[in-house]
Each structure stands twice: as structure tokens, then as C-alpha cells.
A and B are shown apart, each in its own frame.
Chain A
Amino acid sequence: MGFGLIDFITISLAGGLIGFLAGMFGVGGGFLLVPILNIVLGIPMELAVGASACQVLGPATTSLLARKIKVRDLSFPLVITGGLLLGVIAGTSILEHAKELAAISINGKTIIVADLVVLVFYFLMLLGLGVLSLRSAHHSDAELTGAVFKDRFQLPPLARFPELFDGKISLPLIAWFGLGLGFVSGLLGISGGILLLPTLILGLGITTHRAITCSLVIVWIVAFQSTIAHAWHGNISIIIVIALLVGGTVGARLGSDLNARLKGLQLRKQLGWLLLSVALMIGTRLVFLLAG
């Protein structure tokens, strides 16, 4: 697939818009990037997923350097890495398998299986997260803090992470969580921050500040593993990645400036509507694909 200057500028502008929204809502933006690259700009699904996974390394590196990560911040992310790695391999393998399948015909229209699989997963994930975000918009940050998963699933062996929370946590639970996160990242090309933060705060009871630092380290590890896996399968176009890095950095900076002026509840509500809007866009695309 060849790219001219116009394509480069268009992708940069799209990256800038997504970076702005991502900066405004404090998320990575991968969940917006893949649908927009594929549905709006017509970039093949596997390249959209690969570019999304790879470009995350740029902003994640900036953020890690700016936050001055300490050794104690690495213990939990390193424990989760094993599960993440297997999940990323599984996710990219499914995408690769779907890519190699012959296109199927529904209602006389040819459908690429990889597009269908990724869009269905995206639709379900964004719908769920959108509803969750709108529901949580009615509660303050203090009301949302909990440790639902940590306290309920005490499957041995257990481990302590005193820098993150009190008490013990099940190691298999961490590994399975990493497996799921890696799978979603490998298949959909997202860094996983949008799934990580609610899980760390609501599921494990980690304070928001610590959860953000922990999430950043995990996002970098996921992006690193995912980039290797997608590059191995030839799913990455360096030109698309550079275009996204250029536009995304400027957009993210502008968006994060706006973020500082908005309240948490207001942001969660707007993020919820944004997620549902993207889910609607994907749902419409799926209807057109399947109905012909």
C-alpha cells in the first residue's frame, strides 16, 4: 500500500484529532484510532491495528520519562508481563489467522474476515465501556474506589504489593488479567489503558495516582510486546506510524491542556458518550457490511 503526501497529512490530521480527544479524556486513544483509520480512511484492518499498537510506544515513552518511574513501580507490571506476553501472542495470532482466511460472502457482498472479527470485538468493548463510563459519571472519585476482584478471588499463591495496596492478591488473578489485556491489545491494537485504569482502581483498589503510574508502565510493556508481534507478522507501516506520531503529539498536548479545565464527572460523562458514538459508528459499519 503506497502513501503520498496527502495521505501522510490526512493521517497526521486524524492522529491530531484522536490525540486531542485522548489528551482531553486522559486515555491513549487506540480505541478511536483503529476504527477511524479503517472505517474513515480505508486503511486495511491489520495495518490500522499494527500502526495503533506501534505508535503508542512514542507517547508512552514520553510519559514514562516525565514521570520518573522508580524501581518499586516496576514490581506489579513485571509480574503481569508473563500473562501479557501470552495474551499478545494469542491476539495477534487470531488476527493473523483471520487475515489469512478467504473473504466470505454474505448477501452477495464480500467481507474480509479480519475486518469483521476486529469490528465485532471493538463494538462489544466500546458499548460496554461506554455504558460503564456513563454509569460511573454519577459517582465521585471517592465513591468509585474499591477492591472487588482483589478481595473476592483469593486463589493461591498470594503476593503482597505494599507500594500499591494493603493485603494480598492472587497471582493467578494477575496472570489472567494480563492474559486478557494482552489478548485485547494484540487483536485490537489498543494499549489497554482504557481497560487497565478502571480495573486497577475499581477491581484492585489501587489509588488513582498509583494506578496511573502502574498503568503507564504496563501500557509501555504491552505496546512493546504488541509492536514486536505485529512487526513480525508485517502488520506495521512505518510511514503511518510516523504520521500518527507527528499529529498525535500536538493534538495530545492541546487536549491535555483542555483536560485541566474540565471536572472529572463531566469528563467521564463525555467519554461515555464518545465511546458510545464510536460504538454506533462501528455498529453502523457492521450493519452495512452484513446487510449488503
Chain B
Amino acid sequence: MLDKIFFIIACIIIPVLWGVIVNWLFNLWQDRSSNRSDDDYIFPDYQI
């Protein structure tokens, strides 16, 4: 039972953590590549 709960938590944490890291990397890349403010950046709507 405990294994199952840990597995469920891992299944949620891994993709969410991946999403957070990707967002952070894109923000970092955006900050370095231009001087535009964060609000000017229109993120692509690829996850609808």
C-alpha cells in the first residue's frame, strides 16, 4: 500500500517538476537573450 502511494506521488512529482524546470529554463533563456520584460513575452499555446 505504501509502495503504491509513493508510486502515485512519484508519477505526479516527476512531470510537474519537469514542467517547473522547463519554465525556469525558458525564463532564464529569455532573460539572457533579450531585455524584454516578462510580461512582454507571449508563451506559445502548445499545451491546450
A: residues with CB less than 8 A from B are: 19, 22-23, 26-28, 54-67, 193, 196-197, 212, 215-216, 219, 224, 227-228, 230-232, 236, 238, 241-242, 245, 249, 252-253, 255-257, 259-260
Contact = CB atoms under 8 A, between A and B. Distances in A.
Contacts of A22: 46-47
Contacts of A249: 18, 22
B14 interface: yes
Contact of B11 (A19, A65, A227): A227
Given A62-B23, A62-B26, A249-B22, A23 B15 contact: no
B46 A26 contact: yes
Main secondary structure of the interface of A (DSSP, over half): helix
Given A26-B45, A57-B16, 14 more contacts: A55-B15, A61-B18, A66-B23, A193-B47, A212-B45, A212-B48, A216-B48, A219-B47, A227-B15, A231-B12, A241-B11, A241-B15, A249-B18, A255-B46
A256 B26 CA distance: 14
24 contacts: A23-B44, A54-B15, A55-B15, A57-B12, A58-B18, A60-B47, A61-B19, A62-B19, A62-B20, A62-B47, A65-B19, A65-B20, A197-B48, A212-B45, A215-B48, A216-B48, A219-B47, A227-B11, A228-B11, A228-B12, A231-B8, A232-B8, A238-B11, A241-B14
Given A61-B23, A65-B23, A231-B7, A23 B46 contact: yes
Contacts of A256: 44-46
Interface residues of B, number: 21
Contacts of B12: 57, 224, 227-228, 231
Contacts of B7: 231, 236
Interface of B: 4, 7-8, 10-12, 14-16, 18-20, 22-23, 26, 43-48
A66 B11 contact: no
Contact of A54 (B11, B20, B46, B48): B11
Contact of B43 (A54, A67, A197, A228): A67
B19 A59 contact: yes
Given A55-B15, A227-B11, A216 B22 contact: no
